[in-house]
Structures are given as structure tokens and as C-alpha cells.
Amino acid sequence: MSNLILNRRRLLVGSAALGSSLALSGCDQFDFLGQRGNPARQALEQANVLTYKAQRALIGEQTLAREYSASEIRQGMKPNGSTEPTTPEYMFLRQGNFANYKLTIKGMVEREVSFTLDQLRNMPARSQITRHDCVEGWSCIAKWTGTALGPVLDMAGVKPEARYCVYHCFDNIQKTLSGEIFYYESSDLVDAYHPQTILAYGLNDQVLPVSNGAPVRLRIERALGYKQPKYLHTIELVDDLTPFGMGKGGYWPDNGYDWYGGI
Amino acid sequence: MTHWVWAICLFFLLLSGLQIFNAHPALYIGQQSGFEFDNAVLRIGAVNTPDGPRGQTTVFGKTFDTTGVLGMSGSAEQPSFVGFPGAVTIPSFRDLATGRVVHFFFGWVFVGALFVWFLASFINGHLRRDILPRGQDITGLPKDVADHARFRFHHTRHYSPLQKLSYFGIFFILFPLIILTGLTMSPGMDAAWPWLLDLFGGRQTARTIHFGVMVLLVLFFIIHIVMVLLAGPLNELRSMITGWYRTSPGTLREEGDKP
């Protein structure tokens, strides 16, 4: 009992000190949590690992994200992030209406394979009207058409030691002094093989426009918008995410966002 | 014990939540956010006027000038164009990623503490004795309201009807509501529990309710602090720490009371 009292008292004193120091100096007290390598921040980030594990345990691997009726498409799909990549490689492909585009599957696979846009369009198609949730907080409902990623991965033959897909993109999302940073993302194989995970080439019954990721954008419907990489050109099967970018598994995760992205 | 845990949690959840809100300072009704149609119920932003930029808040179609607080804050030389000012966000600068890290960490702790409290209160009878309103609480309510309005407080060993009802509202309505609407914003949880979307009428409505409940909890917090101060903060705090509470003269004695 005396332990409990001590604990209460300690907490009370702690929170009183916390409250009064805050009242004195505003909220920049906690700005150190913004430093990406700060140990306190890294401790708090463990909650995201817990969320990932809890959601993986709770949500069936095949459980679908909600699909909406056509009447719920009330507006165009809001473009966000990169909307017009400016690398010479992409501009060349765009000029040729993506006739020379190839999607490559490589890394920990039995055989590296590439598919043209026409080959992808000739594969079994899936259309889904889903809600796109941006990490900023807004949502937008649109119809996406494409071919499921799982069977495409199977054509390459994913090796058993592969754990993640890394999605490499054409868009130079950030220019720094040491060069351009290209958008990339990654997911585990559960998300990669999910039935709604498609290589989308169509949006709202039209060809996917450049502002939304032409020619091919990946959809991972049970995750936030930043897990839907646009301008996709290569999918690499790996067992470790640290060699890519800053090692966190994606452009936004490298910038401090949660890698899993299901919340 | 759990009281102080969630006091700290709610503090961080509030300030990191306002940071997250600032990433898109608008609230909507429905599944999606209207960019080509209007379903917004709240919008905070800045506009250019002939007299320079002004902060503006639109609530249910009515627009207010909120320069200095919402939409535009900071000094005249260095105005900052954010929804809520940096003084009430964690971090104080725009940093959605960190806001989310802080919010989700304390979200887990908050839910854990609430779970422990419900379990303990159920076992030790606190829930049945002090929180769940009974018939006499409902019939005693008008008198209690009148007494509170006259600042005539009775300090007995039990919670008064108004107290019971507000704690009941917090634990059985507002806390579950803010947790469930928070979960509805997770695309993963929407796949696992699609009924969440139907219960709240869409992800964006859930986000709006989440914000509304936050406002109610802040109001509760203000009243809560005022009541503690009016009731004699030393007596109240002592009782929270040691379990000893001095009642008003005339309170009937019960077995186990110490003189």
C-alpha cells in the first residue's frame, strides 16, 4: 500500500511539475520529439510496431477494404504529392504515351521479368471503388482498375526468403544538394498478395492520368495514401529494407512517418 | 493511479491531436472530403483581404474572423498560417509525422489505463457504487442542479447525482466514442470492423465526432478543475492520494470511519 501511495505521489508531483512548466513556457518543451533519432521519440515509435502487430493479428490476410457503389464517386480523384515527374526518363516515356514502359519484378525471385503496359492490361482485370485516405486527414472515393499484384509476383516466382516488396518509382519527389530523391515505398507480402492490391492503370473508367500516377500506380487499399506509390517502374523482392533510402522502407517513413501505414 | 496516467495521456493526445488536425484543418460529414462539392462543417484557414492576410474560421456556414488564434497566429512581423497555433500543438512547429508518433503512443497507453480502470472498478465496486447512476440519482438530479447553480456544495462520502452522471458520461459515452471514432480513421481497422463506418456514418464523420468529443472533454476538464478548486483542492487532493476525505458537518458516520 505504501508503494502505491508513493507512486501516486510521485506521479502527482511529476504531472504538477509538467503542467506548471508547460504553463510557463508553452509547448516547445516537447519539440525534441521532432528530432528523428531522439531516443525518446524512438521509444514512442515502438507503439507503431505494436499497432502493426495488433492489426496483422486482428485483420484477416484476405479481409477486404470496403468497396463503395458508383453513386459514391462524387468528384475526381484529388492528386497529391508528385503530380508531374520531370526526370528525362519519365518525360521520354510520357511523350511516347508509355509505349516503351516496362514494369520489372526483380530481386529475390526465380526469374526477373518485365511487362509492358499492354501486357499488364491483357492480364485479368479488377475494378474496385474504394476510399483513399490521406495521412493528412482527408478522404476521396474513386474507381481503380488494374491487375492483381499477387499473380504477377507469382510469374516471377518469389523466393521463400523474400519478406518485403520494395516499390521503385519514377518521380523525383525532392531535390537536395546531393541530388534528387526518388519516391519509393515498400510493404510486407501480406499487403502485396492482398486481393485488392492491384497495379492500377485506370481511374474512374479513364486511362490513369499523369497527376494520379500514370502509367501504373499500386493500390494497397487497407493503408494510407502514401502506401499507394505512383509512377511505379520496378518491384524488388528483398528480406531487408535498410539498404534503401534512409533505411525506413519508404520516402515518407524516411521522413518520420510510420512504415506500416494501416492507421 | 489510473487518473494521473490518463491525465498525462489526454494532455499529450490533445496537443498532438491538434497538430494532426492542422495537417488538414477542415472537418466533413460523410465518407469523403468534398473538394468538388461542399460537405464541410468546419474550416480553418487564412484569406487575403485588402487589409492584409486574416485568419478565418467557418463553422456550419458561418464565418468568423479568428486572426491571432485560428488560421493565423504569431507576431505581426512573423505571422504563422496554421489552424491551431504552435502554443497548443506538439511539436510547436508543423510536424505531422511526430504528432502521429506521439498521438498513437499515448493512445495505446490511454486505452490500456482505461481497461485497467474498468477491470479494477468492476471488481472493487467503484463502478457500481459511484459511477452507474441509480433511481435516486435521477430523482435527486433537479435538486442537485439547483444546489450547484447556487454554488451550494455538499461534500459527502458519495458522489452527487450530477457528479455521477458526468463521470458516467465520460467513461461510458465520451471515452468509448473518442476511441472508436479514432479507430474508424484507420483504414486497416475499417477493413477489420466495417461496422465502424456504418455506426458513425463514414470516416470523415467519425473524424468530425472525434474532434467534437475532444471539445467536450476539454470543457469537462475546465469544469472539473473549477469544481476541485471550489470543493477545496487540498481536501480533494489529499483524498486522491491518501484516501482520507473531510466531509461536510452532519455527514452520517459509517462503519470503518476513523474519527
pLDDT band at A3 (very low <50, low <70, confident <90, very high): very low
Give one DSSP letter per residue of B15-46, joined into a string. Answer: HHHHHHHHTS-EEESSSS--SSS--EEEEEEE
Chain A residues close to B86, C-beta within 8 Å: 26-28
Chain B residues close to A26, C-beta within 8 Å: 86-87, 92
Q: Are B155 and B231 in contact (CB under 8 A)?
A: yes
Burial of A198 (0-12, 13-18, 19+ CB in 10 A): buried
Give CA–CA dist B165/B213, Å, rounded. 17
* Model pLDDT, residue A130: 98
Q: What Rg do the C-alpha atoms of chain B give, in angstroms?
A: 22
* Model pLDDT, residue B159: 80
**Subunit contact A8:B107, Cβ cutoff 8 A:** no
Instruction: Determine which of B89, B98, B203 to mutate to test the interface with A (most A C-beta atoms within 10 Å).
Output: B98
pLDDT band at A11 (very low <50, low <70, confident <90, very high): low
Domains of chain A: 2-56 (no CATH), 67-254 (3.90.420.10)
Closest alpha carbon within chain A to B108: A47
For the stretch A45-96, pLDDT in tens is 999 999 999 999 999 999 999 999 999 999 999 999 999 999 999 999 999 9
Check residues A162 and B242 and name the one with the higher pLDDT. Answer: A162
Please compute the mean of the pLDDT values over residues A151-167 and round it to a whole number: 98
**Subunit contact A31:B20, Cβ cutoff 8 A:** no
Closest alpha carbon within chain A to B14: A27
Q: How far is B89 from chain A (nearest CA, A)?
A: 7
- Report the run of H or E that residue A148 belongs to, with start and end: strand A139-148
* Model pLDDT, residue A38: 93
Q: Helix or strand or coil: residue B170?
A: helix
**Subunit contact A12:B237, Cβ cutoff 8 A:** yes
Please count the residue pairs, one from chain A and one from chain B, whose beta carbons lie less than 8 angstroms apart: 174
pLDDT band at A13 (very low <50, low <70, confident <90, very high): low
Residue A23 scores a pLDDT above 60: no
**Subunit contact A55:B197, Cβ cutoff 8 A:** no
Percent of chain A with pLDDT strictly greater than 70: 90
Query: Which residue among A9, A19, A131 places its CB closest to the CB of B203?
Result: A131
For the stretch A227-262, pLDDT in tens is 999 999 999 999 999 999 999 999 999 999 999 999
Angle between helix axes B203-230 and B175-184 (nearest 10 degrees) is 150
Q: Are A184 and A244 in contact (CB under 8 A)?
A: yes
Give CA–CA dist A167/A191, Å, rounded. 12
Instruction: Determine which of B111, B186, B193 to mutate to test the interface with A (most A C-beta atoms within 10 Å).
Output: B186
Point out the residues of chain B with pLDDT beneath 50. none
Q: Are B80 and B55 in contact (CB under 8 A)?
A: no
* Model pLDDT, residue A21: 53
* Model pLDDT, residue A22: 53
Burial of B255 (0-12, 13-18, 19+ CB in 10 A): exposed
Give CA–CA dist B38/A238, Å, rounded. 44
The reported pTM is 0.90
Chain B residues close to A134, C-beta within 8 Å: 24
In chain B, where are the structural domains located? Answer: 29-83
Query: Which residue among B5, B36, B188 places its CB closest to the CB of A262?
Result: B188
Q: How far is A62 from chain B (nearest CA, A)?
A: 10
* Model pLDDT, residue A14: 57
For the stretch A95-148, pLDDT in tens is 999 999 999 999 999 999 999 999 999 999 999 999 999 999 999 999 999 999
pLDDT band at A2 (very low <50, low <70, confident <90, very high): very low
**Subunit contact A34:B185, Cβ cutoff 8 A:** no
Q: How far is A195 from chain B (nearest CA, A)?
A: 13
**Subunit contact A63:B33, Cβ cutoff 8 A:** no
* Model pLDDT, residue B75: 84
Query: Which residue among A7, A75, A263 places its CB closest to the CB of B34?
Result: A75
As for the ipTM of the complex, it is 0.90
* Model pLDDT, residue A6: 47
Chain A residues close to B214, C-beta within 8 Å: none
Residue A28 scores a pLDDT above 70: yes
**Subunit contact A223:B185, Cβ cutoff 8 A:** no
